[in-house]
Amino acid sequence: MILWELFVAFLEVGSTAFGGGYAALPIIQNVIVERNQWLTMTEMTDILSLSQVTPGPIAINSATFVGIKLAGIPGAIVASVATVLPQMILLFILSAVIFSGRKLTLVDRALAGLRPGVVGLIAAAALSVVMSSLFAGSSVWGMDFIALAGFLLALLLRYKKLDVITVVALGALVGLLGGAVEYFIP
């Protein structure tokens, strides 16, 4: 039964997640965290963090993580396949049309209309992740100051054009050092 639930949930994610990984985050959050309650928002944020250091799209990484958590390897396979199935079918259809030499004016207009919506979805996902990351701690005002330090450091380093891998590694280092400080100085 859980395999079918995973398939249907991630088929929905794959069918509605237009605009790439970050645009898919609110959809993934709705299906996984809010509706099915398979993950907490903290676990969802962890998936996003891990997705930055592992190859592959966020939707696939989410599907694999949730699938393994709920049903082991078969769950990971079912959820991952369900996530990519709609895009594969759409890609086959559009490829046939494109390579037949037909003009896709309708598709071009639809994509032009989707762009502003996708930007809004990305902004909503970013705000949700920032809020759950910075205000998950038990410090003053509920703010996690170690997370805030890592966030501000990452913003500064990306503004200075430092490569993403270095920024992620330094963010992990800030987290480890902050955790060590909290451990030794309660």
* pTM (whole model) above 0.95: no
pLDDT attached to residue 8: 95
Q: Among residues 119, 134, 149, which one ends one of the domains?
A: 134
pLDDT attached to residue 49: 80
**Mean pLDDT of successive 10-residue segments in the chain (186 residues)?**
95 82 80 92 84 79 91 96 90 77 74 80 80 68 78 86 84 84 76
Residues 94 and 159 in one domain: no
Domain that holds residue 29: 2-134
Residues 162 and 182 in one domain: yes
How many Å apart are CA 48 and CA 129, to the nearest integer? 9
Residues 34 and 122 in one domain: yes
| H or E segment and range at residue 19 | none
Residues 141 and 99 in one domain: no
Residues 55 and 108 in one domain: yes
Residues 121 and 53 in one domain: yes
How many Å apart are CA 66 and CA 39, to the nearest integer? 8
pLDDT attached to residue 37: 94
Residues 28 and 120 in one domain: yes
Residues 67 and 107 in one domain: yes
Number of domains in the chain: 2
